[in-house]
Amino acid sequence: MKTPAVLLAALVAAAVPAEPGQARAPATIVDSLGRAVVVPAKVERIISLEPEVTRIIVALGAGDRLVGIDYFLRNHDHLFPLVFPAAGGLPVVSNPAQELNYEQAIRLRPDIIFSSPSEFRMTESIERKMRVPVVALASMGKLADLVAEIATVGRVLDREDRAAALTGFFMSRLEAVRRSVAAVPEDRPSVYLAFWGSLVRTPVSYEPVEAAGGRNAAAGLLPDRFGAAGATVSIEKVLALDPDVILVQGNYLPAERQVTVESVLRDPRLGSLRAVRSGRVGYTFGFWYWWDPALVLVEALHLARVFHPRTAAGPGLVPEGDAIFKEFYGVEGAFSALCRRLGCDEWTAK
Amino acid sequence: MSGRRNRKATALAVAAVVLPAILFFLSLNIGAYRIPPGAVLSTLGDAVFGGAGGPEPSPYFDILFRVRLPRLVLALFAGAALAVSGASLQALFRNPLVFEFSLGISYGAAFGAALSLVFLGRGFPPQAAAFVFAVAAVVAVMAVAGRSASQTVSILLSGVIVSALFQALLSLVEFFANPYALQSLIFWLMGGLGLATWGDLAVTLPLIAVGVTVLILLRWRLNVLSLGDDEARALGVNVGREKVLVIVLATLTTAAATAVTGVISWVGLIVPHLVRMAVGPDNRKVIPLSAAFGASLLLVADDIARSAASFEIPIGILTSVVGIPFFIVLLRRSGRLWL
């Protein structure tokens, strides 16, 4: 991650917007790899290989400009079909190995391609072979970078107003969560996250936990430069961390979960853990190919309720989640539908 | 000269027994959860002799008996299984490059685990699937070799073919795996001892124990078989039957270990060579010493994997990254491959 959020935001701000009535000039964007990319004034046909960017494009109301998306969002993401049903008719231009189908991509005549910063070589390769601007963007799990990313994509798509509205909404709701838990006198609970289908794989950085008034027990296990990468720990390490709360990634279909809340509670090796003894073991959404901007807000709300139950107020998580998804995607009942799909009504409706 | 050789043999025999035992007890004191050595002894003593429990349940018991002990016992057995299997196969095929990968065992196990994790769900656990397909791989090798199964080259060639097939099938499963299942599969393929439970070991350990014990008992016949087929026949050995027996036992031990640990590379190749460098090619010594030093090597590797960093280093990566350079240095010093 070469470009921090501050730099991205500064560069977005530096790109001078056109006066009303004046034709937009091509803008220069610095992407997450630190590459300066000149993007065309008018972007009508988009290929997005980075799921997080695709979600933002849809949230910005530019989903109809997508002409090709990656295989994960099209075939495996549980949420995306609910907020953007039209995705079902879009061509998939990448395969499970994240490789671009160049001939298909050329046929789709994109004005711009969004790629993943994790795929540096592919980004360079696409630009050389297709002679189309390629912007590598992703938050890499940092919430500030997600906000900057929304602004950047808004600038590229000439949707700055919508981007400003979304980032304003995002930051105000996140700040509200932070304020609500800051007032709680009790200590911030330490939280162990069992992600990616394993009890012993855990993200060393997971900002919704801190936003919701918790402490990631795995923070510091890997140097900061690894970002939100997962660390593999031993069962014994989990016992040594002795977290107050254990959260299992629940963003799986129930039948596909390798680790469940029940399996953690019944594991005799974990019986001495504070979290197990107090029954504070539950599910959380987690991320897949980084964030969905609406879901990460709901995640923060959910975690605040788990960590500090007394702060729970309002109509409940599901109605609040539906309202947040309506704000981002203009779709009614998307969060309720996701909950039904993931079988998470029980663990989110507290 | 003879006295000096006897002393060396005695020292190695003692080391073979003492080294794993010492490492085992030292390893009991290593881990992410700090337990004072006195508390390790007292907890063990309390468990064996029935000491008085305190008012609060101590996590020491859970850590020692539910986490560390199964892990260390698995390291001992899996290390011995991989090394003895490798040593036996190398002697049988008179080829220093043969180990569990050569007969398709590892890729068969990996493919089985992949099928389970990606397509079959929790109904068919990866451990069971890994075992079934490891055995299936060797059965396929024997079937491909057909009537010439007693021929070394035929079996090795069949092993290469079947390995390549399972490797391709594994890649195919990985390609079509959804990203959620793929994460679990990649993690399994890296190998590890940390998730072992007594439940897993209840099935695995007896299989390994039987396989390793019988292979050690067969060490005399391996000496005869390593002379070559014609010489072995001339000495009255049923070469075809003996080869199949050794292959079945090597498969049993390796498949049982791999099913629980995932793919741990190179132990089956490196340990027998190190032992031969120390004692020469006599399988009467090589096989039991391989068991002892394989167990010791995996114990040490696992100690490093779980204590060198704040996170756990996958042991499959560690055995390759550390084991191979170490092996190269020894090979260059000794200047030859023993067989």
pLDDT digits (tens, 9 = 90+) for B150-209: 567 788 889 899 999 999 999 999 888 888 888 888 888 888 898 888 988 998 899 999
Q: What is the DSSP letter of B119?
A: I
A138 shares its domain with A240: no
| Nearest CB partner across the interface for A272, out of B59, B179, B195 | B59
Task: Determine, for residues A255 and B117 on separate chains, whether the beta-carbon distance falls below 8 Å.
Answer: no
Confidence of residue A61 (pLDDT cuts 50, 70, 90): very high
Lowest mean pLDDT among A34-38, A197-201, A278-282, B101-105: B101-105
More confident residue, A28 or B156: A28
Which residues of chain A are within 8 Å of residue B122 when distances are taken between CB atoms? 258
> SS3 for A282?
strand
Q: Which of A170, A205, A235 is the last residue of a domain?
A: A170
Inside any domain, residue A180: no
pLDDT of residue A348: 57
Residue B65, pLDDT > 80, answer yes
Residues A338 and A203 in one domain: yes
Is B253 a domain residue?
yes
Q: Cα–Cα distance between A328 and A59 in angstroms, integer?
A: 5
Same-domain check for residues A127 and A80: yes
CB of B281 within 8 Å of any CB in chain A?
Answer: no
By C-alpha distance, which of B314, B301, B316 is closest to A200? B314
Residue A182 belongs to some domain of the structure: no
Establish if A225 belongs to a structural domain. yes
Domain housing B160: 2-334
- Cα separation of A142 and A138, whole Å? 9
Q: Select from A170, A198, A214 the last residue of a domain.
A: A170
E runs forming strands in chain A: 27-30, 36-39, 46-48, 66-69, 112-115, 134-136, 190-194, 201-203, 215-216, 230-232, 245-249, 281-284
Q: Which residues of B86-121 are buried (b: 16+ CB within 10 A; e: fewer)?
A: bbbbbbbbeeeebbbbbbbbbbbbbbbbbbbbbeee
Query: B253-292 pLDDT, tens per residue?
Result: 998 898 889 888 889 988 998 899 888 889 999 999 999 9
The verdict on residue B14 lying in a domain is yes
Spatial distance between the Cα atoms of A144 and A150, rounded to a whole number of angstroms: 10
Distance from CA of A28 to the nearest CA of B (A): 34
Look at residues B102, B87, B82 and name the one whose alpha carbon lies nearest to residue B219.
B87
Where residue A59 falls among pLDDT bands split at 50, 70, 90?
very high
A-contacting residues of B 42-101, CB under 8 Å?
57-59, 62-63, 66-68
In chain B, residues with a C-beta closer than 8 Å to the C-beta of A252 are: 180
With CB atoms and an 8 Å threshold, state whether B31 touches A221. Answer: no
Last residue of a domain, one of A104, A138, A170: A170
A23-35: average pLDDT: 88
B58 or B338: which leads in pLDDT: B58
| Three-state SS at A16 | coil
Q: Judge contact between B247 and B140, C-beta under 8 A.
A: no
Kindly state whether residues A287 and A208 are assigned to the same domain: yes
Q: Cβ of A224 under 8 Å from any chain B Cβ?
A: no
- Asked whether residue B339 is domain-assigned, the answer is no
CATH number, domain at B67? Answer: 1.10.3470.10
Query: From CA A78, how far away is CA A310, in angstroms rounded?
Result: 31
pLDDT tens sequence across B10-51: 888 888 889 999 999 999 999 989 899 999 999 888 877 876
pLDDT score, position B119 = 85
Tokens standing for residue B67: 């986490």
**Closest CA of chain A from B2, distance in Å:** 49
Residue A231, pLDDT score: 87
A57 & A162 share domain = yes
For residues A92 and A124, membership in a common domain is answered with: yes
pLDDT for A15: 47
Of B32, B57, B62, the CB nearest to A269: B62
A95 interfaces chain B, CB cutoff of 8 Å: yes
Task: Return the residue of B nearest to A258 by Cα.
Answer: B122
pLDDT, tens digit (0-9, with 9 covering 90-100), for B75-110: 999 999 999 999 999 998 887 778 878 888 889 988
3-state SS assignment for residue B7:
helix
A252/B312 Cβ within 8 A: no
**In the prediction, which pLDDT does A10 show?**
44
Q: What is the pTM of this model?
A: 0.84
B197 touches chain A (CB under 8 A): yes
| The pLDDT value given to residue B199 | 87
Q: Are A120 and A161 within one domain?
A: yes
Within a domain: B227: yes
**Which pLDDT score is estimated for B2?**
61
Residue A139 is part of a domain; what is its CATH number?
Answer: 3.40.50.1980
Average pLDDT value for residue range A124-146: 93
Counted domains in chain B:
1
- Per-residue pLDDT tens digits for A261-317: 999 999 989 998 999 999 999 999 998 888 999 999 999 999 999 999 887 777 789
Distant-in-sequence, close-in-space partners of A238: CB < 8 Å, separation ≥ 6: A192, A199, A200, A270, A273
Same domain, A246 and A322: yes
Question: How far is it, in rounded angstroms, from Cα A245 to Cα A243?
Answer: 5
Please check whether residues A162 and A199 belong to one and the same domain.
no
State residue B151's pLDDT score: 67
User: How many residues are listed for chain A in this entry?
Assistant: 350
pLDDT tops 90 at residue B335: no
Residue corresponding to tokens 């027994």: B17
Q: Is A263 inside a domain boundary? A: yes
Cβ of residue A76 closer than 8 Å to a chain B Cβ: yes
Looking at residue B183, its pLDDT comes to 81
Structural domain count, chain A: 2
Domain annotation covers residue B80: yes
Residue B71 lies in a domain: yes
Average pLDDT, integer, range B232-258: 89
Does residue A26 fall inside a structural domain?
yes
B183/A95 Cβ within 8 A: no
pLDDT at position B235? 87
First to last CA, chain A: 37
A319, part of any domain: yes
pLDDT of residue B53: 55
Least Cα separation, residue B316 to chain A (angstroms)? 13
| Structural contact between residues A316 and A347, judged by C-beta atoms closer than 8 angstroms | no
For A206, the domain range is: 187-348
Query: Do A97 and A241 have their domain in common?
Result: no
A112 plus A236 within the same structural domain = no
Is A168 strand, coil or helix? helix
Distance CA A222, CA A232 (A): 10
A158 and A200 together in one domain: no
Asked if residue A181 belongs to a domain, the reply is no
CA distances to A12, A38, B211, B301 from B297, rounded to whole Å, are 55, 56, 19, 6
Binary contact (B179, A255; C-beta < 8 A): no
pLDDT of residue A21: 53
Q: Are A247 and A306 in contact (CB under 8 A)?
A: yes
A76, A234, A289: residue with CB nearest B178? A76
